A and B are shown apart, each in its own frame.
Chain A
Amino acid sequence: GEDVEQSLFLSVREGDSSVINCTYTDSSSTYLYWYKQEPGAGLQLLTYIFSNMDMKQDQRLTVLLNKKDKHLSLRIADTQTGDSAIYFCAASQTYKYIFGTGTRLKVLA
C-alpha cells in the first residue's frame, strides 16, 4: 500500500530557511498536502499541490514536487519561532489520505 516517509527532526535558527522533506510510494496520488500541528491542537492545512504541478508558492511557503522521484518538500522562508511545530506530509488517493509520521521543527532564537 501507499507509504509516506519523513525525517523525524529538523532544527534551524530563526531567520534561516527550513526545508522539510517527504517521500511517497504511490505515483497515482492526486494531491499532496502539508499540515502543521502545534502542541495540543489538531492538524492545520498549510498548503497542497496537485500532482501535475512542480512548484507552488504561498507567501513564505514553497512546495516543490519531483514526481519522478516521488519527493515532496516544504520550504519555509525566514523561519520564526512561531513556526516551531510538527509538520505532516500527506498523499490522497480516492477516498483515503496517507500521512507521514511528521517532522518536528525546532526554531532556535
Chain B
Amino acid sequence: DAGITQSPRHKVTETGTPVTLRCHQTENHRYMYWYRQDPGHGLRLIHYSYGVKDTDKGEVSDGYSVSRSKTEDFLLTLESATSSQTSVYFCAISDLPGNQPQHFGDGTRLSIL
C-alpha cells in the first residue's frame, strides 16, 4: 500500500472554528490532492499541489485553503468551518498524473455541528 497517512481520522467541531487536516506521504510523489466525498457527488477535487509551495484550486475550493511546505506534507484548512463542510475528506498522491494512477489515504471524517 502507498504510504499515505491522514490525520486526524475523525473530528467533530463547531461552526466557525478553524480546522486543519493533514496528509503525510512517504512515497516522494510530486502531486498531492484533497477531495471531499459526499453521497450522490462522488469525489470532488478541492485543491491540489504540484510541488512544494505550488498549489491550485479544484472544483469546490471555496472556504478551503491549502499549504505545502515540504514534499511529504499537504495541509487542508477550513478557516471558519460551516455545516456544509461536513464530509469525508480524502488525500491522494500521484507521481505522474495522466500516466499513473492516484493512491488514496484512508480518509478523515469531519462533522461540523
Question: Are A96 and B45 CB-contacts (below 8 A) given A31-B98, A45-B103?
Answer: yes
How close is B35's CB to chain A, nearest CB, in angstroms?
A: 8
Q: Are B90 and A101 in contact (CB under 8 A)?
A: no
Q: Which residues of B contact A102 (CB under 8 A)?
A: 42
A61-97 CB contact bits vs B (8 Å, 1 = yes)? 0000000000000000000000000001010111111
Q: Which residues of B contact A94 (CB under 8 A)?
A: 97-98
How many residues of chain A get a CB closer than 8 Å to chain B's CBs?
A: 23
Using a CB-CB cutoff of 8 Å, which residues 39-53 of chain A contact chain B?
40-45, 48
How many residues of chain B get a CB closer than 8 Å to chain A's CBs?
A: 22
A26 vs B40: C-alpha distance when bound (angstroms): 21
A102 vs B39: C-alpha distance when bound (angstroms): 10
A31 vs B106: C-alpha distance when bound (angstroms): 23
Q: Are B102 and A42 in contact (CB under 8 A)?
A: no
* Interface status of B101 (Cβ within 8 A of chain A): yes
Q: Are B41 and A101 in contact (CB under 8 A)?
A: yes
Q: Are B98 and A95 in contact (CB under 8 A)?
A: yes
